[in-house]
Chain A
């Protein structure tokens, strides 16, 4: 065990898999696959595996996504790291090709590939094109691709190992706001399932469900509420598709109150899906969701930070629901 950042943990998983499989490749355009963490060796995939397998490309996310798809179809495992500015530029190839090919080929197409899609949502000041978080909804809506959004370094490592070993295309969302997050992460390779939510705190008064970049605020709010005597069950979705209905429903059956928290836009946010699944399965429960308003993120921090859901919003909404 050692304290590792989110991306260090991810690259550790990738490094292990690339050492096992000489055919596996990695494509990037801006962010080199390099990470360091105190007391641990620097990971530099480009240096270790060479530029034949690890390629810095021109700015063309459509090509990057298509390239790993083609590599997968040719029988190689492949990962591409798409930075947040371009995380929808490759949408079409994932939506219309990666997600459909297995079905269209009657099950023959093999796509052991990972689209590592960086997203923000934590960044005031950059406005519109560089502050969005809504891609969780977009990619989770596509049939045929698994969509996951780990929020801790430990999950990030285990889920990357699973994603690479998974024979299906996986959209692996990276909340860049968690870049600085550090925690103890095992050094050895392990896997974390791509279809299970994580219950972070156990309680009986209310279920609060969040994901990705929103989780630190959810946990902060839960901590403060618990200190005030509310028994809060917090759930980290981790997997948007397939979504872990069982864990969600079990929790809401117990608490009868569900609050969802999203950094993406309100309309059709992942929380809406969580509420729909629980409403279908639990009688007599109450629901509430908070999310970013249906507005492009404005540049000015005053506006942006007022609009982004935070711990205060979560606490107020939880009290309304429980009180």
Chain B
């Protein structure tokens, strides 16, 4: 394990007293926090023997809701794939999340997703956003309409999949870029701290983000300012079409947390309850004013980076090779191996094992989720298209900009 030298610990405690007005009490609290951080740093959550305890103590309806969220994300994914490859009129595209459902679900289950905006925890998402959106509480019907660019979609047809956002549940939203959103998220965390709010800012990032300056800027500034900021890095092994070894020299990206003197935790991203437990620890820490956490969830996406080449209607998983990925990309055997540890199955089996669900009840929940997804896409199909001239709206709060394409 990564025990810090005593000199490094003293640096940490010195850093914690960065406020010129810090009282002795704040200082001592900083020392205690630093100690906790050291023991927590860059360890596997499983190895810490901390698994199952909080999640297992949750009420049955909360646990059932987590299973419900997982299968809702899964069936949204599967319905969208089927739509893309069977309906020539469908215009939506997707960066699929199937295989990673447990991460979004476990993370958002530990957050405040309802209520007035100034009490919501905020989630910044990636260009792979639909799972995060559903877990945070975004309406599936409106999201389906947005993904097909309908006027009544979540963002009025202006955003599409890579720019989904929903203020009502604190989903700041998807981002088509790699990195900048993560630094911006620390700004939300800074605002929370400045106004003594108990809110936290959470950012989802991928393994590719490690290479960007934004990853380091976000963690460095969040650590320096002790911000209520949680970095959830979904390591699905590939940024776009390249293995993460192209962008990161470490096996565990969570090791980077050592540099910033904050906790860095590796968690099995296929197990929603392990994700929940590490997230709960991080959220408690952030709300208590003890600063940021880096969580690395080891997970895997079943479909390709973008779209679903090779997919077959009604079949889960896509094993085709994208035309863009002429060089190295993932082997099919690897995809199949990960599918043996499916987050839906793992969640279902644990809840049956804990006596929270029967298999029959789990099947009912899944059937309802499937119906909800199919109904959502059917509803979206009937929504009106955007008016062309509305493209001139929403540039500024007031008015429209002039049309310049006519001369």
Interface residues of A (CB under 8 A from B): 29-32, 34, 44, 46, 56-60, 62-63, 85-86, 89, 125-130, 259, 266, 288-296, 298-310, 313-314, 316-317, 320-321
Contact = CB atoms under 8 A, between A and B. Distances in A.
> Which 8 A-B residue pairings sit nearest by Cβ, starting from the closest?
A58-B211, A58-B247, A317-B407, A303-B391, A306-B388, A299-B160, A300-B157, A129-B176
Contacts of A129: 162-163, 175-177
Interface residues of B, number: 51
Interface stretch (B235-243, B255-263, B363-371): B235-243
Nearest to A47: B327
B59 interface: no
A59 B212 contact: yes
A244 to B, nearest CB: 23
A295 B158 CA distance: 11
A259 B405 CA distance: 12
B30 interface: no
B211 A60 contact: yes
A301 B209 CA distance: 30
Given A60-B247, A89-B177, A303-B387, 13 more contacts: A56-B242, A59-B179, A59-B239, A129-B175, A266-B402, A290-B404, A290-B405, A294-B395, A299-B160, A300-B157, A303-B390, A306-B405, A321-B407
B327 A32 contact: yes
B159 interface: yes
Interface string B139-170: 00000000001110001011110110000000
26 contacts: A30-B240, A30-B242, A34-B326, A58-B211, A58-B212, A58-B242, A58-B246, A58-B248, A63-B211, A85-B176, A127-B163, A266-B404, A288-B407, A289-B407, A293-B403, A298-B157, A298-B391, A298-B394, A299-B157, A300-B149, A300-B150, A302-B385, A302-B388, A303-B388, A305-B388, A307-B388
Interface residues of chain A: helix, strand, loop or mixed (majority): mixed
Contacts of B240: 30, 59
A132 to B, nearest CB: 11
Given A30-B241, A293-B403, A307-B405, A58 B208 contact: yes
A56 B246 contact: yes
Nearest to A305: B388
Contacts of B151: 300
B27 interface: no
Contacts of B242: 29-30, 56, 58
A313 B159 contact: no
Contacts of A126: 160, 162, 176
Contacts of A86: 177-178
B310 interface: no
B391 A293 contact: yes
Contact of A300 (B158, B210, B406): B158
Contact of A295 (B176, B241, B388, B401): B401
A46 B324 CA distance: 15
B404 A58 contact: no
Nearest to B327: A32
Interface in B224-258: 239-242, 246-248
B158 A127 contact: yes
